[in-house]
Each structure stands twice: as C-alpha cells, then as structure tokens.
C-alpha cells in the first residue's frame, strides 16, 4: 500500500470474518458503515427517564443516506463474484438508491421498480442520478416485489431486495458496531419494520456476536410499524397500506417470519404507531436533538415514547434506536409544516428589527 492510500473501511473489510466472502470476492464498497451512536439528550429528559440511557444509531450517514448500503455492498459484491451483469429491486426508495449507486460503481446494469407517486423525492432523484433504469408501477411496493421476484426468477438478473440473503448478512453488521461501541449489547433495541429485513438482520447480528463472545447479553427487539401499514401487528397482510412514512408503506413483508422470530426469541414486541405520533417524533428529533432523520426512522422513536409512558423500561438500562435514513431524503414532508418565512429588505434596520436587537 502506498503511503497515500486511504484505508478501506467498509463493513466487509471491517467484519470480514463474520461474512460469507473469500479472498476471491471482489469488494464493491463506498466505505459504508461505521455510523455514529449518538447519545439522546432531549428525549430522556422529556420522558423523565433519569436512569435510562438512549442512543441513536444514525444510519442516515451512510454513503447513500440509509442503512441499505450495508446490505448492498454485500449483495453487489456477491453478484459480481457470481458473474452477474444486472441487478433489480422493488423499493420504497432507499433500496433503489443504494442498489443504483453500488451497481454503477462496478458497471452493473440496475433496474428499479418503485410505486408511482409514493416515493420521497430525494430517493427518486438518487435513482436517476446514479443512472438506474427507473420503472414506476401503478401499484404499491408489495406488487412491485412480486413482479421483481418473477422477472428475476430465471437468475439472469440478480434480485437485490432483502430476500437476497447477502443483504441480511451485510445489515447485521450494524448490531456488531453497537456492541463494539457500548462494550455489550443494549437491553433494548428499537427499529422500524417495513419489509422486515432489518429487524431480522440485527437479531442475527446480535446473536452471532454473543456467540463469538463479544457480548454477554442480547437485547429485547422492539419493532414498530406504521398504524396504516401494520400487517405483523394485525396478524394478516394489509392490501392497501398507507402512511406518511412511505419507506415502511408495506402490507406483506417478505421477512415476516424473521421479524416474528426476532420478537419472540428476544422477548420483545412489535407494535404500531400512528402517523401523528411519527410526525411528532420526527419533529422532536430534528427540532430538539438536532438529528434530522426521515419519517420512517421516527417510528421507533414514537414507539419508545409510547413504551416509556407505560414505564416499560427497566432502571439502569440502555435503549438503542436505529434511525434508518436521512432527513433530506424527503423534502416534501420536511416542508409541509407551514414554517414561517421571513422575507425582509437587505438593510441593517430590517435585520435588527427581525432579531429584536
């Protein structure tokens, strides 16, 4: 390595021994992972939790602005290793952004199928800019995923949704990082649930790290769906899922069983929160904590608020909340609060008057 070479720090390099790669696997990476675990300050104070510590695992700081990059570095690297020339996914937006970026980095073609009108603008523009062929269906995510499964069934195009097991392998590394940072697993881990791949991946990661002797305990997994899109909570698929948190607007999650296993094996729960609660938590995060995450990421924050009000959390415990995506992904939602705009003359008196000095 030349003395000017920058060290590769992606999740495959960092956690190679826990991942299904060999020396022959060509690593396609954008130095994803290594995201900060940010201590919550305003939230425990607001909830009156004196002896409970809360941390945000801020996955919005990944290269394409969401946790999907952890899974995508694995899925795309393995697709290249297998000789694939093209990849495809259905997406509510973040998977498509990530697939498009990693595919273009190694010259693979990328096709994405997204629900027309129900994807946040920042995610749509990422698919365009990273050069994916972007197909909008007049239907929802669940329909898109069914179509992608059929189109990729003959194996000519590699499916990179989280039913691709390499996605889960990559995403489990977020749990490793949390244990490395805290020195052990937290008592509780709260996370949004959409297609349910990520809760499945975290639980796998926590279990593997404990087995490897890196932690002494396992967390309770606390999953949160949006009330209008809560198939796992209701116990049946939802034909027409709705929520302002478009990332988790999913009615029939592919990893349903994985989520239920994570919940039951960990002694945790999967609950739902309303759009109103999600919106309040979303604003609290940005306006009080200074952490700007997208609406779906606020669902587990809303969930933790709900549980704290029921005195759910044990004294002395730690809660980690995964904030799955960046706030800038969804500018339309961010601008939907009628914030006052002060347009003033470019003149000192006008500015002084406006700031009251």
Q: Which residues bind ligand F0G (CB under 6 A)?
A: 66, 68, 91-95, 162, 192-198, 247-248, 294, 296-297, 324-325
Residue with tokens 């406006």: 354
Q: Quick one: 91 or 243, whose CB is closer to ligand F0G? A: 91
Q: What stretches of the chain adopt beta strand conformation (E)?
A: 37-39, 53-58, 86-90, 109-115, 133-137, 158-159, 188-192, 220-226, 269-273, 318-323
289 contacts 41 by C-beta, under 8 angstroms: yes
Q: How far is the CB of 296 from ligand F0G (least distance, A)?
A: 4
What are 325's two structure tokens?
A: 């995506």
Radius of gyration of the chain (CA): 21
Q: Quick one: 74 or 247, whose CB is closer to ligand F0G? A: 247
Q: How far is the CB of 325 from ligand F0G (least distance, A)?
A: 3
266 contacts 203 by C-beta, under 8 angstroms: yes
Q: Quick one: 178 or 296, whose CB is closer to ligand F0G? A: 296
Q: Quick one: 40 or 293, whose CB is closer to ligand F0G? A: 293
- β-strands 133-137, 220-226 pairing: unpaired
Give dist(CA 203, CA 220) in Å, integer: 9
Q: How far is the CB of 351 from ligand F0G (least distance, A)?
A: 38
Residue with tokens 């200074």: 290
What are 18's two structure tokens?
A: 């826990």
Q: How far is the CB of 94 from ligand F0G (least distance, A)?
A: 3
**Is the CA virtual torsion 201, 202, 207, 211 positive or negative?**
positive
Q: Quick one: 49 or 63, whose CB is closer to ligand F0G? A: 63
Q: How far is the CB of 316 from ligand F0G (least distance, A)?
A: 29
């Amino acid at each position: 390595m030349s003395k000017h070479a920058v060290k590769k720090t992606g999740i495959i390099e960092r956690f190679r021994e826990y991942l299904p790669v060999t020396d022959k696997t060509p690593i396609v990476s954008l130095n994803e992972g290594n995201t900060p675990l940010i201590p919550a300050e305003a939230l425990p104070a607001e909830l009156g939790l004196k002896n409970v510590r809360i941390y945000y695992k801020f996955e919005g700081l990944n290269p394409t602005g969401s946790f999907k990059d952890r899974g995508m570095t694995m899925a795309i690297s393995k697709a290249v290793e297998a000789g694939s020339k093209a990849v495809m996914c259905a997406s509510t937006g973040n998977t498509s952004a990530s697939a498009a970026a990693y595919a273009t980095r190694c010259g693979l073609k990328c096709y994405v199928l997204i629900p027309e009108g129900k994807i946040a603008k920042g995610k749509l523009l990422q698919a365009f800019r990273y050069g994916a062929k972007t197909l909008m269906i007049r239907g929802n995510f669940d329909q898109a995923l069914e179509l992608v499964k059929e189109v990729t069934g003959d194996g000519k195009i590699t499916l990179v949704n989280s039913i691709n097991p390499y996605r889960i392998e990559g995403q489990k590394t977020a749990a490793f990082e949390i244990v490395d940072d805290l020195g052990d697993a937290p008592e509780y881990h709260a996370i949004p649930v959409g297609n349910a791949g990520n809760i499945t991946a975290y639980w796998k990661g926590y279990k593997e790290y404990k087995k490897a002797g890196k932690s002494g305990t396992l967390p309770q997994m606390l999953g949160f769906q949006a009330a209008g899109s809560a198939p796992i909570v209701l116990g049946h698929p939802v034909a027409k899922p709705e929520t302002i948190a478009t990332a988790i607007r999913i009615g029939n999650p592919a990893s349903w069983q994985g989520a239920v296993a994570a919940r039951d094996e960990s002694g945790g729960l999967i609950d739902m929160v309303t759009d109103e609660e999600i919106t309040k938590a979303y604003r609290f995060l940005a306006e009080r904590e200074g952490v700007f995450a997208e609406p779906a990421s606020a669902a587990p924050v809303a969930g933790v608020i709900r549980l704290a009000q029921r005195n759910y959390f044990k004294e002395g415990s730690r809660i980690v909340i995964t904030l799955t995506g960046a706030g800038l992904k969804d500018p339309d939602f961010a601008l939907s609060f009628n914030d006052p705009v002060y347009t003033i003359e470019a003149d000192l008196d006008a500015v002084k008057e406006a700031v009251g000095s």
